[in-house]
Amino acid sequence: MEPLLEIKNLACGYQAQPVFTHVNLKLYPKQLSGLVGPSGCGKTTLIKTILGLAHPWVGEIWFRGQKLQPGVSPPKVGYVPQVETVDWSFPVTAEEVVMMGRYRRRNVSPFPSKRDRQVARELLYRVGVEDVAHQPIGELSGGQQQRVFIARALVGEPDIVLLDEPTSSSDLRVQHELLHLLAELNQQGLTILLSTHDLNSVATHLPWVICFNHGIIAQGEPTEVFTPQTLKQTFGGEMVVIREGDRILIASSLSTLRHRMQDNLPSILRQTH
């Protein structure tokens, strides 16, 4: 099978400081992948380089067998930015946020058409938040906001959607809901790459992971890639990997040690820690 997106020997940086080097990566149609690494390791820069928002120093990006020019976004690509980069006080409704994706592609009148509104509502329904269409985006819950931006990313019927830390500020329930939604979209044929530093959510929900720290450390299925050695190289600290059948639980060795010490304390002392 030909890759949908292929990155060859890519390097990028800012002000003569490299962010990542020697990145080689293939993403195939209908693949659901997680780009895993600590904050500041270059995940966002890699996504921006794929989107054409950052210019690579060297290397090539190919999409459907066609080489892209530096600074040019692949056709039919959707993008969900980090929540920290969004101005949630901006006075727009959920429906209007989705329609912004239509404006960007139409290059015509800024006034929404009947078809624009219909598409927006269909996409909000598809991601499960059609009931908040007329609510201000800033008044929605974190999970609803992310679903709205996923709907906006789907406006152009993309072949691939890139999500930058979509679960970073969400609680555990919202994380699972979002990852289940992405899995459903993937089953419908959408190729997805999301960046995250949440190892346990990735291990539970994603079939393919790419460990990244200023370059690709390893990639493969979580059961194969998530080893103490690879995780130490990726995150720079000792990790404990606990396996129960097909399930994986990952914790730092310090937190694991702390829990073991707490287990050995008398019950009255455990309650004060």
Residue range 82-122, pLDDT digits in tens: 988 888 889 999 999 999 887 655 555 567 788 888 989 99
C-alpha distances (whole Å) from 106 to each of 92, 96, 101 are 19, 15, 9
Residue range 8-30, pLDDT digits in tens: 999 999 988 999 999 999 999 99
Per-residue DSSP letters for 103-142?
HHHH-S-SSPPHHHHHHHHHHHHHTT-GGGTTSBGGGS-H
| More reliable by pLDDT, 115 or 126 | 126
Residue range 50-85, pLDDT digits in tens: 999 999 999 999 999 999 998 888 889 999 999 888
Which of 41-45, 91-95, 131-135, 202-206 has the lowest average pLDDT?
Answer: 202-206
pTM for this predicted structure: 0.88
Question: For residue 216, what is the DSSP state?
Answer: E
